Chain A
Amino acid sequence: MTMLRRYEIYSVDPNAPKDLLARMDESMRHAQRWIPEVLHSAIGMNKSPVGLHFVWEHGYEDSEAYKRYMVHPFHANVYDRYLLNDSPERLVTNNPYDVGLVGFNVEGPQYFLPSGYARRVVMARLKKGTEDAFRALTEKEKAANPKMVLSLLAENTFGTRWMDGVTKMLDDTTYSHIWEQGYKTLADAEAASTAWQKEAADMIEDGKMIELWYELETGHGYDNDAAAAMRSHGLEHA
């Protein structure tokens, strides 16, 4: 079954009250406590130099599950309170990166990493016709780096399909592809080679590429769900 993999990535208001930020973190990290459809929910504080601070990553069993999330009262009551531009309790800021909502379709939870591992995420706008070459580059990079325990490249389909994850509603989005990498430690993620970027330079449109890395702070039901979901997809645990 095709799952939906989804990221929300934000720049945080430096003047936001710490107690409210902690509540937002908690509400997203432990999302499944309130919205059962949210699978493998984890947050991370970005350590890369990009002006983005907060990552919420998670998945959905399918589009129907995502649609139930979208109309869940917790979504409108709590997440919108912290995120929508016209809310007086907004904790995030506008930024130029267009990654408030990105993601992709994936056969099973191939993205899964155990609690405490670290994620490095590359978002790039690939020139048309370069996806195969870029994919080969990601595979070469994984083969060359034994500390990279996971590598998954996918088209960012969610950026233009955020209402239900399926129906295209916007013509375009800034980053066409997402390359998820997994590492055992944040230090390994941070130390990953960037030599591939030289080779990829000709594949990336107008230099549009950002990288983030962070340690996973996993939420309610994360490990149990992952094991069950991976078994149901006939996949081995990472």
Chain B
Amino acid sequence: MDLKPIHIVDTLAVTPDKQMALLKLLKEEGIPVMEKAGLELVGCYSTAPSLGEEVLIQVTWKCADHATFNLMRKEFVTDLDWWAYSEKASKLWHGGTRRFFYPAPLEEVA
């Protein structure tokens, strides 16, 4: 399986009342800081807040490969804005996942 390009999928779980606060933080701080580091924003999606359950906000980033991501990681972890964003964001979400996705090898399916 070819591990490139990389899609980094963050799924952030928040209570419905925090949905807009987290989206605002992402728009104003999280997305700019990651784009400054070189990551490409593929999309940002949210489940509906009116279902009587937690809201999941899914942010997908893309970069060429792991060598490229390593350089981008250096950029964001040395950026004070990333530290500030992370501090605020971690107070809003109560769970979630971060997973790296690669092109699924459908061509290898018999």
Contact = CB atoms under 8 A, between A and B. Distances in A.
Contacts of A71: 66-67, 69-70
A89 B98 contact: yes
Interface in B48-102: 66-67, 69-70, 73-74, 76-78, 82-83, 85-87, 89-90, 93, 95-100
Chain A contact residues: helix, strand, loop or mixed: loop
Given A73-B100, A88-B95, A80 B73 contact: yes
A88 B96 contact: yes
A158 B30 CA distance: 29
Interface string A8-43: 000000000000000000000000000000000000
Interface residues of A, number: 19
A80 B3 contact: no
A224 interface: no
A85 interface: yes
A87 interface: yes
A88 B11 contact: yes
Given A88-B10, A88-B13, A70 B95 contact: no
Contact of A85 (B10, B67, B86, B95): B86
B39 to A, nearest CB: 11
Identify the interface centre among B10, B11, B13, B98: most chain A CB within 10 Å of its CB: B98
Contacts of B93: 88
B48 to A, nearest CB: 20
Contact of A89 (B76, B77, B97): B97
Contacts of A84: 77, 86, 98
A142 interface: no
A94 B67 CA distance: 26
A163 interface: yes
Given A71-B70, A80-B73, A163-B74, A87 B83 contact: no
Contacts of A90: 90
Contacts of A169: 74, 78
A72 interface: yes
Contacts of B85: 86
Contacts of B99: 77
A70 B70 contact: yes
A73 B66 contact: yes
Contact of B86 (A75, A86, A163): A86
A81 B87 CA distance: 16
A87 B66 contact: no
B90 A85 contact: yes
A87 B12 CA distance: 9
B87 A85 contact: yes
A86 B82 contact: yes
8 contacts: A76-B70, A77-B99, A80-B73, A85-B77, A85-B87, A88-B11, A88-B13, A89-B97
Given A76-B6, A76-B100, A88-B97, 15 more contacts: A70-B70, A71-B66, A71-B70, A73-B3, A73-B100, A76-B66, A77-B99, A80-B73, A86-B10, A86-B90, A88-B10, A88-B11, A88-B13, A88-B96, A169-B74
Interface of B: 3, 6, 10-13, 30, 66-67, 69-70, 73-74, 76-78, 82-83, 85-87, 89-90, 93, 95-100
